[in-house]
Amino acid sequence: MKIVCLVKQVPRADAIEFDDETKSLRREGVPLLLNPFDAAAVVQAVELRERHGGEVVALTMGPPQAESALKTCLALGADRCIHLSDRAFAVADTLGTSRTLALAIRKEGGVDLVLCGRKTTDSETWQVPPETGAFLGWPHLTNVVELDVDDGRITATRETERGYDTYELERPAVLSVGRAHDADGARDGEIAVWTATDLVDDLHENDKRFGQSGSPTRVLAVRDVTPERAGFRTSDAAEATARIRELLVDRAEESTSWEKPERLGEQPGAGYDSWTLVELADGAPTRASLELLAKGRELAGKLGGENVALVLGHGVGDLRLGRHGADRVVVVDDARLEGYQPDVWSAALVEVLNRYGPHVLTIPATALGRDLGPRAAGELGLGMTGDCVNLGIDRAGRLIQTKPAYGGNIVSVIMGATTPQLATVRPRMFEPLEERDVDAKAERVALDGLPEPRVRLVQSRSAPALDLDESSMVVLLGPDAPEAFVPDGKAVAGTRERDDLPTNRRVGLSGRAVAPSVLVAVGVPGHFEQQTGIVKSTVVVAIGCGPGLEDVADVIFDGEPAVLVDAL
């Protein structure tokens, strides 16, 4: 079995600094390392090779210094490496990168399985694995935490906010690994260097298959958005509670308005609608979906179009989405959409996008959205920005997307050149609208071309963690939290050291991010890994935490944690 691991060299995230004078990142002297999620993919590939035979090939695209990341792959057990290095590849976005990687995988030939990390630590995109799968025409699956191969069949379990879903896939396939693995060291070995002319025999200037020319998104600006934290210290629960409430008032976001803003720019043409993919949980729309539907009224107003809700699934009831801001609701209700099967769902989304051609489509940055959106973008060759924290519209009708990088205190402002304009957006970035007794136009759509699934859902194990996105307060337990401290009725998460909690409740750079109104951290040392998971929280309260977290806290409480949590 031949396994290709897609890897990337990244700057050490905690060493990145922002230069206020040049409004850019300082990269000189920043240590470079193999992306920890990609390192985990190499470790997983080597384990599969040991059980089933074959070889492991590490593949990267980058400048000459990226060779050091490949040497780390060799130290982890890879058999050989391929280094894509050419000026033609420079400044590629995720779509341009995925297209180039797919060409290299085709050239290598005989590949049974492609493994890569679910994301890189210098950004929050999960896009390359699904987009690479789209260019190859192979099935894909993201955020895989268990994997095995038997008699040519792949069995993989992916982690979601709802629990753990096990799938069977046909080979060849593209999978992303949901765990991180710190790796250093180096070993010499076979590293082949390929240029653009090794991938195509008709390379030309500004070739739209590669680099910036082949990339539909552009970074307009980079900004430092490190929040100012109050650092108020107290041991009195009443005093702490009062201070937290003051900060919540001071930092309150503007409420989302039902009233659409005036259209920007000149009269747009037809189809200037803003669409939202509405994700369901137990038959009801998730809060993250309602947040985007609320933001959609602003986007639609500036575009001069309708705010449209798109629902995919089976047995979809009357969701009354007009009460939450939708002007129109498009429902695709199909038995083939029972349970999430990536290739069937992405085919459905592609057909809808081709049929209706919305100007903008926003998608919750959940396990489903991060898997589905990039696959559709790859199938259609569309630019997409993942894990956005803000959205806007310029006078030309382009979607302005703000996304985090390097842990979240640095953001990039991005614009795309293709339409529909796609973006996934983190939960709790906007407020849902207050419900009104309003009806929306409804349309139920039948689709024709849905394929037979190549990725089959065979088992689901429930481990609900949606409350971390839905709740206004999250309690984060670190390794130094009091034994058995789990407050009743609160959304509870843990750092990666907390093996007593499901892994879909782990918060940090190697886990997930949360953004509640109040984040209460108990016994958290406050390393960079942990800070990155809570940076968008409105108010951060530190109880019994290390100086790392106290430095980024608003309220440092020295009393008993249960007293303060109950007071809030």
Instruction: Choose among 30, 44, 66, 50: nearest CA to 186.
Output: 66
> What does the buried/exposed string (b/e) look like for 137-167 if buried means 16 or more CB atoms within 10 Å of the residue's CB?
ebbbbbbbeebebeeeebebbbbbbbbbbeb
**What pLDDT does residue 54 have?**
96
Burial class of residue 207 in the structure, from the number of CB atoms within 10 Å of its CB (0-12 exposed, 13-18 middle, 19+ buried): middle
Report the DSSP beta bridge partners of residue 507: 512
- Give me the mean pLDDT over the 532-558 stretch: 96
What does the mean pLDDT of the chain come to?
A: 95
Element (H, E) at 293: helix 287-303
pLDDT of residue 72: 98
* 518 within 8 A of 245, measured Cβ to Cβ: no
Q: Is 204 exposed, middle or buried (0-12, 13-18, 19+ CB in 10 A)?
A: exposed
Q: Which amino acid is at 71?
A: K
Residue 506: partners with Cβ closer than 8 Å, 6 or more residues away: 493, 494, 495, 496, 498, 512
- Residue corresponding to tokens 């894990």: 387
Q: Name every residue whose Cβ is closer than 8 Å to that of residue 479 and which is 6 or more positions away in sequence.
A: 495, 497, 498, 523, 525
Residue 377 near residue 127, CB atoms below 8 Å = yes
Q: Which of the two residues, 109 and 123, has the higher pLDDT score?
A: 109
Kindly report the pTM of this predicted structure.
Answer: 0.96
Q: pLDDT confidence of 125, banded at 50, 70, 90?
A: confident
Residue 270 has pLDDT above 70, yes or no: no
DSSP-derived 3-state class of residue 198: helix
Phi, then psi, of 539 in degrees rounded to 5: -130, 130
pLDDT in tens, 299-355: 999 999 999 999 999 999 989 999 999 999 999 999 999 999 999 999 999 999 999
Residue indicated by tokens 């030939």: 109
Each residue of 49-102: pLDDT tens digit? Answer: 999 999 999 999 999 999 999 999 999 999 999 999 999 999 999 999 999 999
Residue percentage of the chain with pLDDT more than 90: 88
Q: Is the pLDDT confidence value at 386 over 70?
A: yes
Structure token digits, residue 194: 């390929």
How far apart are the two ends of the chain, measured CA to CA in Å?
Answer: 55
Tokens describing residue 510: 């190697």
Assess contact for 413 and 223: CB atoms under 8 A.
yes
Q: Average pLDDT in the 277-286 region?
A: 96
- Give me the phi and psi of 322, to 5 degrees please: -60, -30
Coil vs helix vs strand at 25? strand
What pLDDT shows up at residue 23? 75
pLDDT tens per residue, range 282-294: 999 999 999 999 9
- pLDDT (mean) for 267-295: 90
Asked whether the predicted pLDDT for residue 271 surpasses 80, the reply is: no
Is the pLDDT at 28 greater than 90? The verdict is no
- Does residue 267 surpass a pLDDT of 70? no
**pLDDT by residue (tens digit) across 130-170?**
999 999 999 999 999 999 998 889 999 999 999 999 999 98
- Could you give the CA distance from residue 251 to residue 539 in angstroms, rounded to a whole number? 9
CA distances from 32 to 126, 180, 451 (A): 21, 16, 43
Identity of the residue numbered 549: L
- Identify the top-confidence range among 193-202, 221-230, 263-272: 193-202
Q: Is the pLDDT reported for residue 404 higher than 80?
A: yes
Return phi, psi of residue 142, to 5°: -110, 160
**Is it the case that residue 177 has pLDDT exceeding 70?**
yes
pLDDT above 70: percentage of residues in the chain: 99
Longest CA–CA separation in the chain, Å: 72
| pLDDT at residue 13 in the model | 84
Distance CA 512, CA 332 (A): 30
Task: Report which DSSP code applies to 506.
Answer: B
> Which residues are CB-neighbours of 315 under 8 A, at least 6 positions away?
283, 333, 338
Q: Which of 191, 193, 213, 215 is nearest to 203 (CA)?
A: 213
Q: Stretch 438-452: mean pLDDT, rounded?
A: 93
Contacts of 131 (CB under 8 A, 6+ apart): 94, 95, 98, 99, 374, 375, 377, 378
What is the model's pLDDT at position 433? 97
Q: What is the pLDDT of residues 243-256, one digit of tens each?
A: 999 999 999 987 88
**Per-residue pLDDT band at 295 (split at 50, 70, 90):** very high
Q: What is the pLDDT of residue 14?
A: 85
